[in-house]
Structures are given as C-alpha cells and as structure tokens.
Amino acid sequence: MALLANRLDLDAWRRGHHYRSLALGGLAWGVQPVDAAADSAWGGLATLDIPLLGGTRPWVDAWLTRGGELRIGRSGSVHWRTDGHWTFGQLDLHEAQGALEQAAYRAYRDLFAALEDCGCPHLLRVWNYLPRINADGGGMERYRQFNIGRQQAFIDAGRDPFEGSPAACALGTPGAAPGGLSVRFLAARVAPKPVENPRQVPAYRYSRTYGPRTPTFSRAALADAGDGQLALLVSGTASIVGEHTLHPGDVVAQTQETLRNLQAVIDSAHEGCTARYTLADLQPTVYVRHAGDAAAVAQALAQAEPAWRDPPCVQADICRADLLVEIEAHAFAPGAVA
C-alpha cells in the first residue's frame, strides 16, 4: 500500500482513466463547480473555481493510492473515499445554514465523524477556503470567527488543538462554496509527526493580538506514505517571523521571507526523520492577494529556486490582511520518521 501525489493538467486528468481509478481525491484548480463527489468522471476531485494567474492553466493535485480497493461514503456533509489506509474528503457548507463560527464547527464535527467512519482517524493535511476571509463579520474578522469554530470542534471531539494539529491552510477565495465554507482533507490510519518552524511562534500559541482563539494547525507534517517513502506536507507559509508580519506592502520581500521560512521548515523536518528534502523537491502552490503582483512573485521565486520557474499561481486573500503572498507545498522522499 502506498500514498502517491500527482500534479497534472486538467486535460491529462480527463483523458487518464487510470488516474481516476486510483484516486482518493484531490483538488482541481480553475474548474467550474460540479458535484465532484457524485461525478465519477472526476474521481473524487474537489473543484475550485479560483482565479489563475501568470498563465497558469487549470490543473489537478491528485492524491492516489496503490493497492487495495476504494470505499466511497458520506458522513453528514462530508464525502470521502478511502482504501483503509488513507482517506481524502471534501465538504461545502453555505453560511445560510449558520454563521461562519457555527459553519466551521459543523464542518469539523462532520469531518471528525467521517474519520471514524472510514477508519482513518488521523488528519494529515487540511485545506480551508472561505470568502471574505479578512472582512468584518459582525464585530470580528471572519478568519477569527472561523478559528473559534474550528478549535471548539477539536476540543469537543477530544482532539488536541495544539501540538497535535495537522498541516493546514486557510484562504479567502471565490473558489469556496458561494457564500460558504469549503474544506478538503487528507487523513491516514497512522498519525503524522507535526513539524514546527523555529523562526516562528507555533500558530496555536499566538497571542490574543490575533484573536480570541488560536489557529489550529502545525507548520508541516511528516507522514508515512508506504513503500519506504515519507511525505512532507507543508502548511500555507507566509512572511511571518515570531508571530508578526514582516515587510508589509512589499510583495517581493514577503516572497523572499516566505522562502526562508520554507527552508526553515525543511531543516526542522530533517531533525525528526531520515528523509532529506530540498526546496527544489517541493511541489508548491502559490497564493497571491493582488493579481498585479503575480509577475513579481514569479520572478522572485525563479531567482531563488530555478526549479520553481512558473509554479501554479492563484489569486486568493491570505489569512492576514497585511500578507500579500502565501506558499504551500508537498514532497516525497525515501526515509522514515526518526
């Protein structure tokens, strides 16, 4: 049994039935919303109708399994696919069903129920998308409302919302369900090893300056992918040192600081495993707040890491209003958790 990741353009996915037959699921970027959970042509992919920048074409980040049979199910609002070792799930909630705090709580309540139903209790990676993430939501920023609901769901489920947090990101994007919250997740039967960045305060230890409840995620996670491979799953990473934003208003400097943080995460991961990764090994997704900054970000990335020439780039609001760019990534390498 093995977990695989494959990045390919949308046309290749549509042509490749062999990909779909192996797919736990994944994210399809720049695609009009469809009921992916019910449409076998999508192989469990969660579509994201999100603006693509810098010539980026619609693409698929697919999570595949080698060996075993897929089981497909639904737990509350969550659609999931599992081989018994790994699970990919997705859900979309409209805020008409409740305020964002309540929607986040319900989403994670259903997510945890799904993990129990499919026999993969450990979250590896979560992708959260919601519109107007930095907007006021009745006296409190919407991202902070989301954090309250998410953390409370962890607590009520008996899960550690601090040191045991999964790798994750939270972006403001029109790719979320209209007026609502979209969550995608990867889970496993075996717990991952959380990774923190020594240059940053762990997100779950932020001061109340950043909200009444802290964000529930680790900077990265190391996960056994089978066949002697170890996956490094890197959370959304931005220009934060300590707990403060650096270089406000300067997208190039923020990009360079983000790269330093990514390298620090890699170095920290190396302390807990025998696998070895480099920046060039990472498969990045780049989120840029302002479309007009995409070219400058791409140039800064190419200068720092030539292997990252023309990475997939999308337009999204970052979780802090003064952050202009965020990068998430994953990589596989031979090795094991130490």
Q: Indicate which residues carry an active-site annotation.
A: 326
| 261: Cβ contacts below 8 Å, ≥ 6 apart | 197, 199, 200, 237, 238, 239, 240, 241
| 59: Cβ contacts below 8 Å, ≥ 6 apart | 7, 8, 9, 10, 28, 29, 30, 312
Q: Give 250-316 as a DSSP string.
A: -HHHHHHHHHHHHHHHHHHHHTTBS----GGG-EEEEEESSGGGHHHHHHHHHHH-GGGSS--EEE-
From 128, 90, 85, 100, select the one nearest 231 (Cα to Cα): 85
Q: Give 56-100 as a DSSP string.
A: PPPEEEEEEEESS--EEEEETTEEEEE-SSEEEEEEEEEGGGS-H
| 99: Cβ contacts below 8 Å, ≥ 6 apart | 137, 138, 145
Q: What are the beta bridge partners of residue 86?
A: 188
d(CA 261, CA 197): 7
Q: In what order do the strands lie in the sheet with 23-29?
A: 2-9, 59-66, 23-29, 45-48
162-181 burial, b if ≥16 CB within 10 A, otherwise e? bebbbbbbbbbbebbbeebb
Helices and strands (H, E) in the chain, number of each type: 6, 18
d(CA 92, CA 95): 10
